[in-house]
Structure 1
Amino acid sequence: MQRAFYNLTQSMLNHQRSLDAISNNLTNINTAGYKKDEIRMNTFQEELILVSNRRKTSGKFVQTYVDTSKSNLEQSSFEFTESPFDIGIQGNVYFNIQGTNGNVYQTRCGQFELDGEGYLCLNDSGRVLGQSGEIYIGNDDFIVDNEGNILSENGEVIEKLRLSYIPENADVTKVGNNLFSYDGDMTIPEDEKYDIIQGCFEKSNVDANKEITSLMETQRLFEASSAVLKYMDTINGRAASEIIKL
């Protein structure tokens, strides 16, 4: 009975965590460069393993548990704006942002602007980094080519975007809604193909229809687990009362 209570309680916690992730995804559906969160659950069976002949017996119970929370790095579509400050990336490379705390983060959000000192920045997150450091634009017009070179109107190279490679299946740490931190090697492989596209930005990769469907399914599972838990609690209470009477 106690094991059943534990499993149901754990199940409710898992469903609640999924609901939180789905809610956050829907909240950020219009956030440029946002990558949806996925709560991945596995089931495991407790088994007795006979080491001598490596045979496995049937287990005692099956339990669901949260395996990991992971950002889905799948590329999304672009929204074309014709603004020179909007820059998109085709491929598995990321912009680098010098955070206000001094750390460098990666992002797919290409909705840039100029700060008060004329540097290219990502809203309040920090300044965009080039090969030589923070990128100063000032009041001049600029062009970004498909390799990430930033050129003046007369074709002079001002700077080149600092780009980092993150595999699509990588485990990253999300910082805020559209910044990432990655501990792996971010050197761009020689055979990695990518294009920098000025005049557009990458939208979030949240599919509203799928998220709403998942929301309803998870909510039903949460409510079902809650109902069973309440029923078992009632039965347990009655059993305890009968024992006291004895």
Structure 2
Amino acid sequence: MLRGLYTAASGMITQQRRHDTVTQNIANINTAGYKQVNSVTHSFPDVLISLMGDKENGGQKTIGRLTTGVFAEESLASFMQGDLKETNNSSDFGLVSNLVLIDPATDEPIPFDASGKYVAEDGEVIYRPEVFFTVQDANGETRYTRDGGFRVNAVGDLLTDQGQRVLDTDGNPIALPPGITMDQVKSDSLGNLSYDVDGVQTDLAAIGVVVVNNPHQLVREGHGVFRVDNVQAADIRALEAEDNASVRQGYLESSNVDTAQAMVDLMAAQRAYESNQKLIQYYDKSLEKAVNEIGRV
């Protein structure tokens, strides 16, 4: 009976965490470049149920297995492409990516699922590479984001909404020359910036756009910003012309949260939480009856 009590309690904790994850996604529906998070659950190790045999027959008789509850194992980000929203703001930049990997065994493109994952026949898990802007935080550390809602401060530095400096392909902060505004700056599909003065086109810098071959190695820091603790595992490289990815000036990438599915998941988590709550109440009444009534016999 107590095993069932603990199992129901673990279910409540798991559904609460699932509810919190979905709530976070819903709260960021209008956040540019936000990537939704999916909660992954896993059962506790199975317990082998056995019956003690008598001495003549010897040994134990296996009855079966029983799981002892569930827990929220981890939260995985979904890096699916979000819709582009036109803003006509010259300091806004959206990323469009649909990078293709070729399976060396078949020479065909790898068929990634909706979450950007593919499991090969030998069990190897392959993730679709994704592209990110490179920025610099207050400590001078390199970070990555899909939020291209940039702005220019009083001294001409190109910054994110959080005040982080936007880096170029060489890892240097991008700054506009004195007297130049973002309305004069144009970008090509690779993020190469240039500005026009009296009909003369001058190269400025190239926005640092990188390809992360294993985006699930990124660690979420908040506000749409990610860091990398293991650069080798993440396998980061510069964006190349042959990559099926581009930079769009005057656009922002919307959140990739599926609103309808988020509401379904929210209701499912709530119903499952209530079911586990009812089970705990049932076990509580059963224990009360066993102690107060059966104990008198």
The TM-score, its normalising length taken from structure 2, stands at 0.74
Given residue 191 of structure 2, which amino acid in structure 1 is its aligned partner?
G
Q: What do residues 128-156 of structure 1 show as CA deviations (whole Å, max 9, x unaligned)?
A: 11134110025412111111111111322
1:60-79 alignment, distance < 5 Å:
60-61=66-67, 63-79=69-85
Identity %: 26
C-alpha distance in 2, partners of 1:189/1:121?
A: 21
- Per the TM alignment, residue 3 of structure 1 is displaced from its structure 2 partner at its CA by 1.4
Deviation sequence 1:51-80 (CA, Å, 0-9, x none): xxxxx9842336323221111111111001
Return the letter of the residue paired with 1:101. Answer: N
- Between structure 1 and structure 2, the one with the greater Rg is 2
Equivalent position of 1:105 in the other structure: 143
Q: 1:205 and 2:288 equivalent?
A: no
Which whole-Å CA distance do the structure 1 matches of 2:239 and 2:22 have between them? 34
The aligned residue for residue 143 of structure 1 is: 186
User: Which of 232, 237, 244 is the matching residue for 2:288?
Assistant: 237
> Equivalent residue of 1:165, what SS?
strand
Contact 2:18 2:72 survives alignment (8 Å): no
Match of 1:177 among 223, 238, 244: 223
State the one-letter code of the partner of 1:187. Answer: R
8 Å Cα contact 1:97/1:125 also seen in 2: no
Does 1:82 find its partner at 2:88?
yes
CA RMSD of aligned residues (A): 2.2
1:187 aligns with 2:237: yes
Instruction: Tell me how far apart the structure 2 counterparts of residues 9 and 78 of structure 1 sit (CA, whole Å).
Output: 42
Q: Quick check: 2:15–2:270 contact (8 Å CA) kept in 1?
A: yes
Aligned length: 239
CA separation in 1, counterparts of 2:276 and 2:155? 56
Unaligned 5+ segments in structure 1 are 49-55
Per the TM alignment, residue 244 of structure 1 is displaced from its structure 2 partner at its CA by: 4.8
What is the CA-CA distance between 1:47 and the residue it aligns to? 6.0
CA shift for structure 1 position 209: 1.0
Instruction: Tell me how far apart the structure 1 counterparts of residues 296 and 22 of structure 2 sit (CA, whole Å).
Output: 48
Q: Which amino acid letter does the alignment assign opposite residue 164 of structure 1?
A: V
Shift of 1:164: 1.8
